[in-house]
Amino acid sequence: MTDWLIFRGTGERHDGISHLPPPPNWRAFAGGPPLPIPAAQADPGTARRLGSRRPALAGRMDPTVVQMVNAALYLRRPLLVTGKPGVGKSALAYAVAHELGLGPVLTWPISSRSTLADGLYDYDPIGRLREENLRRLYAGGDRGEAAGESGFDEAGIGRYLTLGPLGTALLPYERPRVLLIDEIDKSDIDLPNDLLHVFEEGEYAIPELRRIAATTVRVDVATADEGISAPVTNGHVRCRAFPFIVLTSNAEREFPHAFLRRCVRLVLAEPEPDQIAAMVEAHLGSDVAARAREMIDAFVAERGGSGVYATDQILSAVYLRFARNDAEADAAMLQTVSAVLGDLSNPGPGKKPAAVP
């Protein structure tokens, strides 16, 4: 039966998220008052990731992928997506946001220096101190009476706070936001464990705001959505609809069991020729996809050997070979296309995987 599916993987926009049943009682959250999600058209990354012909997604969305996405939606759990580079791990977040109308995708690219604080919020105390000193200077003296004993304008602290992508996703939106935590396997060894409490509780505190909560209960702060601010009450943020979180991994490390049990896990296989053709169609059109079919088949055959290849290589090669209106390609172009399709494990200029049609 498929009537339980909220996300269908068709690429067609619909309001299925409104039929998502209440969460299990151990995953229910009570943040509020509810905030509307920003308009989806504010997200230029959707067309970049999915292409302008989004219905072509239906040709490459594996039923297992659709089912695991829905499991994560129902359980209000992060989706840990593992697979080789270029198989569409990041694009999955954009596909869900587009189809379910969940607004712009919030993105948090991970490096070995990333910390939990980077994802939650940023505070600029130096900027605040500098501006306050300038105010005192131009006011001609101590502003303690106007700004309180500390001399700081406590109500204005929000100007120096910006919520990060994770911090923004956990605001009390009326519908779940989509958050892409990209390449979590690149992180410091402590980050997955640091995320556990936030994933489990769906909330976090901002100490800088909690310290002034007795005098300034509500503070408007900037969010990760450009030009949009949100209120924070008593220095505490609690989600209302748990965000749909996609964590991507290239399988370069193992994760703690405590982290894995809090995620729904999905392994993406390398796409087959029909799926690659659908990707090409989504980005470059059906005519280019048809002309490139022989190149796609040759690439998939070579990928099954001992070399290392990524799916975005064939997309780049097809663009170089067929995106122009020229009917013929000269020898230099074919040589370039061959280099783009080269074995990634080859330290040389590139190995020709197959004759370029």
Taking only the tens place, the pLDDT of each residue in 89-103 is: 999 999 999 999 999
Domains of the chain, start order: 16-121+157-267 (3.40.50.300), 273-340 (no CATH)
For 134-156, the DSSP string reads HHHHHHTS--HHHH-TTSS-GGG
Task: Specify whether the CB–CB gap between 266 and 65 falls below 8 A.
Answer: yes
Inform me whether the pLDDT recorded for 154 exceeds 80: no
Residue pair 322/284 in contact (Cβ under 8 Å)? The answer is: yes
* 40 band by pLDDT with thresholds 50, 70 and 90: low
As a whole number, mean pLDDT of residues 217-244 equals 94
Higher pLDDT, 121 or 59: 121
Please give the biggest Cα pair distance in the chain: 79
Say if strands 264-267 and 244-249 run parallel, antiparallel, or are unpaired.
Answer: unpaired
- Expressed in angstroms, the distance from the first to the final Cα of the chain is 43
Distance CA 17, CA 176 (A): 9
Q: Which range (105-114, 143-152, 242-251, 308-317) has the least confidence?
A: 143-152
Between 104 and 283, the more confident residue is 104
DSSP category for residue 327 = S
Strand partners, 179: 106, 245
Kindly write down the DSSP assignment for every residue of 216-258, as one continuous string.
--EEEEE-SSTT-EEEEETTEEE-SS--EEEEEE-S-S---HH
Strand partners, 18: none
pLDDT in tens, 326-343: 656 677 788 888 888 888
pLDDT at 311: 86
* Cα–Cα distance, 140 to 304 (Å, whole number): 75
pLDDT tens digits for 45-74? 666 667 655 544 544 678 999 999 999 999
pLDDT in tens, 276-316: 898 888 888 888 889 899 999 999 988 877 778 888 899 99
Question: Taking Cα atoms as reference points, which of 71, 63, 96 lies closest to residue 177?
Answer: 96
Nearest to 263 by CA among 89, 26, 77: 77
In this predicted structure, the answer to whether residue 75 has a pLDDT above a threshold of 60 is yes
Q: Which two tokens stand for residue 355?
A: 């004759």
- Residue 285: which of 10, 60, 55, 89 has the closest Cα? 55
* CA atoms of 29 and 6, how far apart (whole Å): 20
Q: What is the pLDDT of residue 162?
A: 95
> Which long-range contacts does 14-21 make (Cβ < 8 Å, 24+ apart)?
14/99, 14/100, 14/101, 15/101, 16/99, 16/100, 17/73, 17/100, 17/101, 17/102, 17/175, 17/176, 20/73, 20/74, 21/74
- Closest to 112 (Cα-Cα) out of 231, 272, 253, 243: 253
Spatial neighbors of 339 by CB under 8 A, at least 6 apart, are 349, 350, 352
Helices (H), 38-124: 45-50, 63-75, 89-100, 116-120
Q: What is the pLDDT of residue 147?
A: 45
